[in-house]
């Protein structure tokens, strides 16, 4: 049995000219489908969330993966370019 690697969280940003809510929803669907395909192929990936900065024409999404290279695989599989990828470290949590 291969030992499992720790998951790292990544933030991915993509510039999308004329970004609107419908386009953001379509991008989310494409990325989630790509993640599902790659999971079935054996990659350890976990979709976390996405958000769109419409005025900035920037679509951002977060996932957890065992390897940074897997982030690029997801983007390629979804047919997207990635403009920026950064590792995310935990910050503060909201108190109840």
Specify the higher pLDDT residue, 22 or 93: 22
> What is the domain extent for residue 39?
20-88
Triad 42, 91, 73: Cα angle to 5°? 25
Is residue 13 included in any domain, yes or no?
no
Is residue 96 included in any domain, yes or no?
no
pTM score, whole prediction = 0.86
Is residue 56 included in any domain, yes or no?
yes
Is residue 7 included in any domain, yes or no?
no
Q: 68 φ, ψ to 5°?
A: -60, -35
Please count the structural domains in the chain: 1
43-94 pLDDT, tens digit each: 999 999 999 999 999 999 999 999 989 999 999 999 998 899 999 987 766 6
Looking from the CA of 54 toward its CB, the CA atoms found within 13 Å total 6
Give the pLDDT confidence score for residue 90 in this predicted structure.
Answer: 77
Is residue 2 included in any domain, yes or no?
no
Give the pLDDT confidence score for residue 45 in this predicted structure.
Answer: 97
Is residue 50 included in any domain, yes or no?
yes
Give the pLDDT confidence score for residue 96 in this predicted structure.
Answer: 56
Is residue 1 included in any domain, yes or no?
no
Give the pLDDT confidence score for residue 95 in this predicted structure.
Answer: 63
């Amino acid at each position: 049995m291969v030992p499992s690697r720790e998951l790292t969280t990544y933030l991915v940003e993509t510039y999308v000219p004329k970004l609107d809510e419908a386009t953001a929803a379509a991008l989310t669907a494409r990325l989630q489908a790509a993640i599902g395909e790659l999971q079935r192929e054996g990659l350890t990936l976990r979709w976390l969330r996405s958000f769109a900065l419409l005025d900035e024409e920037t679509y951002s999404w977060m996932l957890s993966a065992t390897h940074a290279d897997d982030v690029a695989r997801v983007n390629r599989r979804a047919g997207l370019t990635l403009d920026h990828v950064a590792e995310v470290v935990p910050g503060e949590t909201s108190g109840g």
